[in-house]
Amino acid sequence: MQKPYFPCALKIEGRACLVIGDDREAQDKSCRLADCGARVTVVAPFAEEPFLKTLNSRGILVERRAFRTSDLEETFLVVYCEKDREQAASLHKLCRRKGILLCAVDLPEYCDFINVSLFSRGALQIAVSTGGVSPALSRKIRLGLESSLKKVPLEEFLDHLAALRTKVSQSAKTSEERRRRLIEAVDDFQFLARVRLPTQAARLKKSRRKSR
């Protein structure tokens, strides 16, 4: 069994990041990197006009050509969205040699990091991951969070907590008092989730259907 990934968040503002691929996954990953302030280059040999238009509008450089080893110069991380296992293995060796982080989508054996499904509302961020086992399940859970919290004014409550934190930091006489008052501020906050798992019969039915 594969060892679990160490959960962390990377600061990539201003860093050069490379995305290889021309599908929806490559588009999504490129935009997420750009949203975090990365300098993103996309190598997409078969990129179509909608793909180019979307990424160019976000200030993302797209080059319609095959990947070259020289693309790795001064690169901090790479997201590989193609399905070529042989190329992924070769890229993994190159990145390891150069100290570059690599995520090969759907090929966890060649990943130094994996992408999490992220729920974000104001200052709140919840990362959901199955360690590469089932990104589809991570997405389902994230969508469930979004649906459950859609009408909840989280941003307003977070703004209140931020203001309270500043006030308490200035007025609390001890660290223990500061901690107690900040904990008390969320005493009445509750979050309840409902989960429905598919039955064993349903799972077996799908399994038999796929094996035909």
Query: pLDDT tens digits, residue range 163-212?
Result: 999 999 999 999 999 999 999 999 999 988 888 888 876 676 666 666 66
For the full predicted model, state whether its pTM sits above 0.75.
Answer: no
CATH fold for the domain made of 16-115: Rossmann fold (3.40.50)
**Domain coordinates of the chain in residue numbers?**
16-115, 116-152, 154-184
Q: What is the mean pLDDT of the chain?
A: 90
Distance of CA 166 to CAs 121, 161, 169, 172, 177, Å?
21, 9, 5, 10, 14
Residue 115: predicted pLDDT: 82
Domain 116-152 coded CATH 3.30.160: yes
Given a cut of 70, whether residue 1 has pLDDT beyond it is: no
Is residue 4 very low, low, confident or very high in pLDDT (cuts 50, 70, 90)?
confident
Neighbours of 98 (CB within 10 A): 13
Asked whether the CA dihedral 135, 136, 139, 140 is positive or negative, the reply is negative
Distance of CA 6 to CAs 13, 112, 114, 176, 203, Å?
21, 10, 10, 30, 30
Q: φ and ψ at 92, to 5 degrees?
A: -60, -45
